[in-house]
């Protein structure tokens, strides 16, 4: 699995945790004195939360993915530069 896939999976897990926590807090508030939603309203709110998290992950992760690809590219270039520099240094010492 690529580094980007691993990070994507981790971000997805974090997003799922946030989604579940938001929904849990709303349910707890509704069962207490904080909210007074009927079952239909509560279901609609929870479905809207699911939809919103799905949309934001899909739209938001593409930016994260582009940034990761850029960072990986920079690291590869830096490693290649260091390797080339190291080879030149060794050849001078001979």
Sequence ranges of the domains in the chain: 3-93
Does the pLDDT value for residue 31 go beyond 70? yes
Distances (CA, A) of 32 to 14, 36, 57, 62: 27, 8, 30, 39
pLDDT at site 81: 80
Could you tell me the pLDDT band of residue 93, with boundaries at 50, 70 and 90? Answer: low
d(CA 91, CA 94): 5
Residue pLDDT, tens place only, 47-88: 999 999 999 988 888 888 899 899 989 998 898 888 777 766
């Amino acid at each position: 699995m690529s580094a980007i896939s691993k990070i994507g999976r981790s971000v997805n897990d974090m997003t799922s945790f946030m989604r579940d926590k938001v929904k849990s807090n709303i349910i707890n508030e509704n069962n207490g004195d904080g909210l007074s939603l009927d079952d239909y309203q509560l279901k609609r709110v929870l479905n809207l939360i699911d939809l919103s998290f799905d949309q934001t992950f899909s739209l938001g992760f593409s930016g994260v993915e582009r940034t990761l690809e850029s960072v990986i590219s920079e690291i590869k270039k830096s490693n290649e530069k260091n390797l080339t520099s190291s080879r030149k240094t060794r050849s001078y010492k001979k």
